[in-house]
A and B are shown apart, each in its own frame.
Chain A
Amino acid sequence: MRLFGVLFRLAWRNLWRNHRRTIIMLGAIGVGVWAMIFMTALTRGMVDQMIIDSIAVLPGHVQMHHPDFPDDPSVSNRMLISEADLKKKFDGAGFKAWAGRVRVPAVISSERESRGVTLLGVDPDAERGISFFNYDEVDGRFLVDASDQGIVIGRRLAETLETGIGKRVVLMSQDPDNEIADRGFRVIGLYSANTKAVEEAYAFVGKATVQKMLHIGDTTTEVVFLSDDYRNVEATFQAVMSATDESVSVRRWYEIDTYLGTMLGVMDGFVLIWIVVIFLALSFGLVNTLVMAVFERVREIGLMLALGMKPGSILGQIIIESMLLLTLGLAAGNFLAWATIVPLQDGIDISVVADGLEMWGVSSMLYPKLYASDMFLATGVVLLLGFLASLSPAWRASRYVPVEAITKV
């Protein structure tokens, strides 16, 4: 332990003998580490937002359907489980929220235009916390109960249809016998969403109203469940699985929207590659610095060896010096990253490229997310790879033959 203390002090003092070189290297490490964490935070923020937005529209972290519904989203593939049975199974079973819904493709027509929409028959009380918009932010009002006679559509869809609050629209869909079922609705509210595509895609009506229109009694096409965190839905999934049998299929969000699941994996990979690439760019400078530091001190190292210092201590001394350099750089980089990300956490407006981002499924505000785990990852990778990179110069230094080293000019 005393030896370590001595080596540590030697390394520390050596570090500051050539303070210019050390400061430049610290600058490089600092910028590198900052870039690692900053870029990662932006990426995380983007993907998080994208996943949260998309899950909000799906919605739910776990969903239950008739096994044929995902391939053939028709009302004939509904689940023949009554409302009361669902309640018995899932109420009080510890889900953050759950709701049964009727989801069918439909055509919505105003006197001017027609469009295709996904018609959602919902129970507004059960949906609270599941819907992707806040009921209070709806222009006009949201549905009051499951047998509300009105319809709530997106603001963008209302523009396209040239309709508005108080006007009537006609919905056409098909009932289980493939007869066209249609019904007039009065528009009672307009909701906003993060992307235009979502505002055009969904129309909300009372669950009981649509069940009556489609003649499907009190059955639903899907049941959605919310867990506390989208990254950890396993408990919810298992709970739903154990409460149901093979007559239904239960899927997690990343199985429903495979693009999202893939995206999450790809981004994790990207973060690691980015950190390693930046480190590699840094490593040339790091090794260079160490090689120079050893080179300048050949005679001194020879003398220490001649005086009886063990080669292992020389090796240790160089590695400690390298680790000190990296630690200081990492501290600076982490601090810099924290200091630049925190002021940006209220969101960066990138709406100049909003249409383009919509293609990626990303909304036009970017909220950087600084995760401690990413800071640890960057720090860990740099320390580990930095240690490996310093082995070679340190090893060479410890292998000098004292006499040759001392006499070297």
Chain B
Amino acid sequence: MNIVFRLAWRNLWRHPRRTWLTTGAMVFSNILLVFMISLQFGMYGLMIDNALQVFTGHVQVQASGYNEDKKMRQTVPDIIPLANSIRTTLNSETVAARGWAFALASSEDRSFGIGIYGVEPEFEAQVSNIPGLVSDGRYLETDNAAEIVVGSVLARNLHVKVGDELTLLGSGLDGSFAAAVVNIVGIFDSGVNDIDRNIAEIPLRLFQETFFMEGGGHQIVVVGDGLEAVPAIRSTVQSMLPDDSDLVVLDWDEIQPGLKQAIQADMSSSFFMYLVLVILVSFSVLNTQLMSVLERTREFGIVMALGLRPGRLGRLVLLETAMMGLIGAILGAAAGGLLTSWFTSHGLAFPGMDEMAARFNLPARMYPEVNVLTLSAGPAVVFVFTMLAAIYPALRLRWQNPVDAMRVA
């Protein structure tokens, strides 16, 4: 074994330039793969977290069908007691009840149709980042005060500031005319235009009175410790609902199917690009190994004539390839890791990215996520393809006749 190993190592350095060019191709692809995969993982994690922490949470209780239709009468009855008992059962504060309605908000000068959330001021901050994003004034405090917080764009469009009054006009649960006059106590700025333009929040009890909800609401949001906790929370909450109720427990993926699909769509197009890179590297390896086998035809003929089995020669070629592949994988992972780590601490931005990032509720600077998986996935795949590319050159030896081989000029 030792001698085969040494033989392979020496054969590798017969043409240092060729070996380095071939490993160079591997290192180049590995650096790219490590960097891109780390960047994607960092981005996907952020995309999910950022999207969920606005309103969605991890798990929600809703009336069945509400998620698609968002109709006023698809209510969760007695929502506040139910939210309380979920809080007790899960022994967790990160549970909050909400109602949602559409209304016309009018200031002195302007009127716009907006979505109104009725929220529990005490608990909303545990499940959503909107309370923390109030940049002017304060968030809601009392359970049934005639108060409202509005998005920054909406405030600008309505020509209002903290302290002004807004009139809300809409229709209640029974279809009757619903109206309320509320004071603006805070303005939030999430950075996402659609949210800042279209959303306002009032206390849930005020919401229930205004829209004649009879104690009902539309969603109970639960946030757990990370996405891993979701299935457990879901089944606990599910078991609390009476069997005959019209309520369903949905996880974040069911509430916002677009999120996972956007990630899948992005992943499949990157997958194509990575595959092309890896295939090009394999071509390079195939070429190098085939050349290295062909130029040694006479040499192989002699050792075969001396009694060496073609199988062992084949293994020699594979061993050479494996050595080369390993060098490429290690150097590539190391260089890729260094490059990526630099961006992990400094962040990455390119022109136009902030526009695109804002659309997905992402920060304007990206921080790739380096871990064992992102470091090793790319190099591992490149290594496997490298070995696959060496199969043909290695197998060729089996069909080689020693005498013919020795005669090759």
Are A and B genuine complex partners?
Answer: yes
Residues on A close to B: CB < 8 A? 18, 20-21, 24-25, 27-28, 31-32, 35, 39, 42, 71-74, 76, 105-107, 109, 111-117, 159-160, 162, 172-174, 178, 180, 258-259, 262-263, 265-266, 269, 274, 277-278, 280-282, 284-285, 287-289, 291-292, 295, 350, 352-361
Q: Which 4 pairs from chain A and chain B are nearest by CB?
A: A356-B261, A116-B113, A356-B262, A284-B25
Within 8 A of A (CB), among B168-203: 169-171, 175, 198
The interface residues of chain A lying within 8 Å CB-to-CB of B198 are 116
**CB-CB under 8 A for A106 and B113, given A113-B102, A281-B280, A356-B263:** yes
With CB as the reference atom, state the residue of chain B lying closest to A354. Answer: B261
Q: Kindly specify which of B16-24, B132-140, B398-406 makes contact with the partner chain.
A: B16-24
Tell me if B103 and A31 are in contact (CB < 8 A).
Answer: no
* B15 at the A interface (CB under 8 A): yes
Tell me if B21 and A288 are in contact (CB < 8 A).
Answer: yes
Please report whether the interface of chain A is mostly helix, strand, loop or mixed according to DSSP: helix
* B284 at the A interface (CB under 8 A): yes
Tell me if B258 and A359 are in contact (CB < 8 A).
Answer: yes
With CB as the reference atom, state the residue of chain B lying closest to A280. Answer: B28
**CB-CB under 8 A for A24 and B283, given A265-B352, A280-B28, A356-B262:** yes
The minimal Cβ–Cβ distance linking B264 to chain A, given in whole angstroms, is 5
Within 8 A of A (CB), among B236-281: 257-265, 269, 272-273, 276-277, 279-281
The minimal Cβ–Cβ distance linking B273 to chain A, given in whole angstroms, is 7
Complex Cα spacing A347 to B17, Å: 46
**CB-CB under 8 A for A266 and B356, given A113-B71, A174-B111, A288-B284:** yes
Complex Cα spacing A25 to B204, Å: 69
* B233 at the A interface (CB under 8 A): no
**CB-CB under 8 A for A74 and B110, given A113-B72, A353-B264, A359-B259:** yes
Tell me if A107 and B291 are in contact (CB < 8 A).
Answer: no
Cβ 8 A contact of B280, one of A32, A107, A115, A355: A32
The interface residues of chain A lying within 8 Å CB-to-CB of B17 are 291
Tell me if A288 and B18 are in contact (CB < 8 A).
Answer: yes
Tell me if B104 and A160 are in contact (CB < 8 A).
Answer: no
**A-B pairs with beta carbons under 8 Å apart, 21 shown:** A32-B276, A32-B280, A35-B273, A39-B272, A76-B109, A105-B113, A109-B171, A112-B72, A113-B171, A116-B198, A174-B106, A274-B273, A277-B277, A278-B276, A284-B21, A285-B21, A291-B17, A355-B261, A357-B261, A359-B261, A360-B359
Complex Cα spacing A74 to B110, Å: 7
Complex Cα spacing A206 to B335, Å: 64
Residues on B close to A: CB < 8 A? 15, 17-18, 21-22, 24-25, 28-29, 32, 69-73, 102-104, 106, 108-115, 156-157, 159, 169-171, 175, 198, 257-265, 269, 272-273, 276-277, 279-281, 283-284, 286-288, 290-291, 294, 350-353, 355-356, 359-360
The interface residues of chain A lying within 8 Å CB-to-CB of B353 are 266
Tell me if B25 and A285 are in contact (CB < 8 A).
Answer: yes
Complex Cα spacing A288 to B355, Å: 42
The minimal Cβ–Cβ distance linking B160 to chain A, given in whole angstroms, is 12
Since A284-B24, A288-B18, A360-B262 are in contact, a sample of 18 more A-B pairs with Cβ atoms closer than 8 Å, ordered by chain A residue number, is: A24-B290, A73-B157, A107-B103, A112-B71, A116-B113, A172-B111, A172-B169, A174-B106, A259-B359, A262-B356, A263-B352, A263-B355, A285-B21, A288-B287, A289-B287, A355-B258, A356-B264, A357-B262
Q: Which of B18, B108, B261 has most A Cβ within 10 Å?
A: B261
Cβ 8 A contact of B291, one of A21, A106, A355: A21
The interface residues of chain B lying within 8 Å CB-to-CB of A356 are 257-265
**CB-CB under 8 A for A285 and B113, given A114-B103, A160-B71, A266-B352:** no
Complex Cα spacing A114 to B173, Å: 11
Complex Cα spacing A266 to B260, Å: 23
The interface residues of chain A lying within 8 Å CB-to-CB of B281 are 281
**CB-CB under 8 A for A27 and B284, given A105-B112, A359-B258:** no
Cβ 8 A contact of A287, one of B21, B72, B350: B21
Tell me if B359 and A28 are in contact (CB < 8 A).
Answer: no
Tell me if B110 and A114 are in contact (CB < 8 A).
Answer: no
Cβ 8 A contact of A291, one of B21, B28, B71, B352: B21
With CB as the reference atom, state the residue of chain B lying closest to A355. Answer: B258
